[in-house]
Amino acid sequence: MSKKKEPPPEDAEKPEGEEGEEGAKKKPPLMILIAAGVGALVVLGGGGTAAFFMLSPKPDAHAKNEKPKEAEKPKKEEKKGGKEGKDKGPNPISQGPDGVVYYTLPDLVANIQAADGHPTYLKVKLALELKDESVAESVEPNLPRITDMLQTFMRELRPEDMSGSQGNYELRMEFQRRINLVIAPAKVNSVLIEEMLIN
């Protein structure tokens, strides 16, 4: 008397199947949510970036349209200034009181010796006090020689050499002596230190 196995009740299968389906359903929604979140970030980031770049160039383009107009005016003035410069003489010459003429040399920069061995730089801006403009005309062609002689001298200096008013005075006298050697028979009355930086 073998008994036939009765099929399990449908209710018993459903909970197992539902649990299996729920387990299977839980994974795809999680993956879909992650993919949707990443997609939303890409869209929002791309949209924000696009909006930033689309809105930024408009003010710049407007500013660029104004700048060339302003830039054209100084160019025309520079051309005029260049013509006047050729007629009247070099730019670094300026008139002082009692007919004195000042000639501003280009900035001089040299590395100098430091006690601790670290690289130290000396930057000097000099103005030459001249008797008249004819002396300035003898300085102009000798400018490369003057620059070379002064920079060679500056490389031998130490920071201690320039400390205090005595050091400053001796430095000015050495500059004047060396410049007078180059431009002789013309003569510089005085060397004025407009700026001196030790870095």
Counting beta carbons within 10 angstroms of the beta carbon of residue 131, is it exposed (0 to 12), middle (13 to 18) or buried (19 or more)? middle
CATH homologous superfamily for the domain 93-198: Band 7 domain (3.30.479.30)
Q: Which residues pair with residue 94 across a beta bridge?
A: 102
What is the per-residue pLDDT across 106-157, written as a single tens digit (0 to 9) for each?
A: 999 998 887 787 888 889 999 999 988 888 888 889 999 999 999 999 988 8
Give the contacts of 59 (CB within 8 A, at least 6 positions apart).
none
Domains of the chain, residue spans: 10-55, 93-198
As given in the structure block, the two tokens for residue 97 are 């009181």
pTM (two decimals)? 0.52
For CA atoms 46, 52, 58, 64, the dihedral sign is negative
DSSP summary character for residue 132: S
First to last CA, the chain: 112
